[in-house]
């Protein structure tokens, strides 16, 4: 199993950063590996998200059930896709009006060796750089602070 833990201190509010991560349909606009992304609200605090990873000619989609704690956290649990296990948690911790700390913890295991060989390295790279990608998106959307 691959375990990822990344965090960053940013000059944006927890609400700002939460909004960027929660806006799944916008992912293809700024994540070059994301071929498609959609989200469907199931309840006030649950969203089903589907994301397609594009890597060369390989395209693989996965779906997660996301539990939303507005402006504080997003928990992701695998529904389907090329994994036997995938869980993640975004946390947005306010720093007394001076920005926030963004944390991502993710654990995943591919369903078979072929999937791991096809997209394993790319998905690990994606997971390792996701926090940086959202920090860059914050500058693009909210401006440099």
Per the confidence metrics, is the pTM higher than 0.85? yes
Cβ 88 vs Cβ 104: under 8 Å: yes
What is the token pair recorded at 31? 């994540």
Domains and CATH numbers, the chain: 2-142 (3.30.530.20)
Mean pLDDT by 10 residues, the chain (145 residues): 94 98 98 95 96 88 97 98 96 92 95 82 86 97 93
Concatenated DSSP letters for 58-96? Answer: EEEEEEEEEEEETTTEEEEEEEESSEEEEEEEEEEEE-T
Question: What is the pLDDT at residue 116?
Answer: 83
């Amino acid at each position: 199993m691959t375990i990822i833990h990344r965090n960053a201190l940013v000059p944006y509010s927890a609400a700002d950063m939460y909004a960027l991560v929660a806006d799944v349909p916008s992912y293809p606009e700024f994540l070059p590996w994301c071929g498609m992304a959609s989200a469907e609200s199931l309840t006030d605090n649950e969203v089903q998200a589907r994301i397609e990873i594009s890597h060369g000619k390989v395209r693989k989609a996965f779906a997660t059930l996301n539990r939303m704690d507005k402006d504080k956290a997003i928990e992701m649990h695998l529904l389907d896709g090329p994994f036997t296990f995938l869980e993640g948690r975004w946390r947005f911790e306010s720093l007394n009006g001076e920005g926030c700390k963004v944390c991502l913890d993710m654990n995943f295991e591919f369903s078979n060796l072929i999937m791991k060989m096809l997209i394993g390295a790319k998905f690990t790279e994606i997971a390792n750089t996701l926090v940086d990608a959202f920090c860059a998106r914050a500058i693009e959307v909210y401006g440099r602070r």
